[in-house]
Structure 1
Amino acid sequence: MARPNSEYPTELELQILKVLWDEYPLTVRGVRERLAGGGRELAHTTVITMLGTMVDKRQIEKLQPTQGKAFRFSPLLQRQDVSRGMLGDIVERVFDGSAEAVMLSLFDVADLNSEELANLRKLLNKKLRESKS
């Protein structure tokens, strides 16, 4: 039985989006090379299939060639929108909507250095001030 379509990108789709967020537009070859550079070796046909699927899902767009025969691809989804949506889904499904539970879990699983902790403290203090306004 086929897996139902998710409103969020799959792991491989997300890797491709990350490549395209960093640099676009790219050809199939360009996407494949950058994935390989990040440790994800895929067959050329696999990348073609994935890009076609992502075009169909309206995650990316296929641009006409400007020179030669190679189509180029560009992201339609924004990194911030995808990350917010995916994180919001995890907060709701895993932590029953509790931001506090998410933060406590984050402190348990992430090795935060003193600079990162100081930055988080600043963000929390800013949110506190905003909530009092």
Structure 2
Amino acid sequence: MARPNSEHPTELELQILKVLWDAEPMTVRQVRESLANDGRKLAHTTLITMLSTMVDKGQVEKLNPMQGKAFRFSPLIGRDDVSKGMLGDLVERVFDGSAEAVMLSLFDVTQSDETELASLRKLLNKKMREARS
């Protein structure tokens, strides 16, 4: 039985989107080479199938060739929209909507140096001022 479509990109779709966000539009060959450089080697036909699925899902668009016969692909969804959607889903499903629980867990699983913690404090102070307004 086929897995139901997720509202968020799969792991491979996300890797492809990251490549396209960094340098779009790209041909299948260019995407494949970029993924291979990052350690993810895919068959050409596999990547064509993935990109076609992503077109059907509205994640990328297939652009007509500029020269030759190679189609180019460009993302239709932005990095911020994807990250906010996936993070919001994680916060709701895992942490029951608690930002405090997310932050505590984040501090448990990451190593933060003094500079990063100071930057986080500034961001938190800014959010507190905004909440009072």
In 1, the alpha carbon distance for the partners of 2:14 and 2:89 equals 16
**1:45 alignment partner in structure 2:** 45
In 2, the alpha carbon distance for the partners of 1:37 and 1:112 equals 29
1:117 aligns with 2:117: yes
1:120 aligned partner, one-letter code: L
Unaligned runs of 5+ in 2: none
**2:2 alignment partner in structure 1:** 2
Instruction: With the length of structure 1 as denominator, give the TM-score of the two structures.
Output: 0.99
In 2, the alpha carbon distance for the partners of 1:115 and 1:55 equals 42
Unaligned runs of 5+ in 1: none
In 2, the alpha carbon distance for the partners of 1:56 and 1:119 equals 41
CA positional deviation for 1:116: 1.1
Q: Mean Cα displacement is larger for which, 107-116 or 28-37?
A: 107-116
1:60 aligns with 2:60: yes
Instruction: With the length of structure 2 as denominator, give the TM-score of the two structures.
Output: 0.99
**1:14 alignment partner in structure 2:** 14
Query: What do residues 53-80 of structure 1 show as CA deviations (whole Å, max 9, x unaligned)?
Result: 0000010000000100000000000000
1:108 aligned partner, one-letter code: D
Q: Secondary structure at the match of 2:106?
A: helix
Number of residue-to-residue matches in the alignment: 133
Q: Secondary structure at the match of 1:66?
A: coil
In 1, the alpha carbon distance for the partners of 2:5 and 2:101 equals 28
In 2, the alpha carbon distance for the partners of 1:127 and 1:93 equals 24
Q: Mean Cα displacement is larger for which, 110-119 or 5-14?
A: 110-119
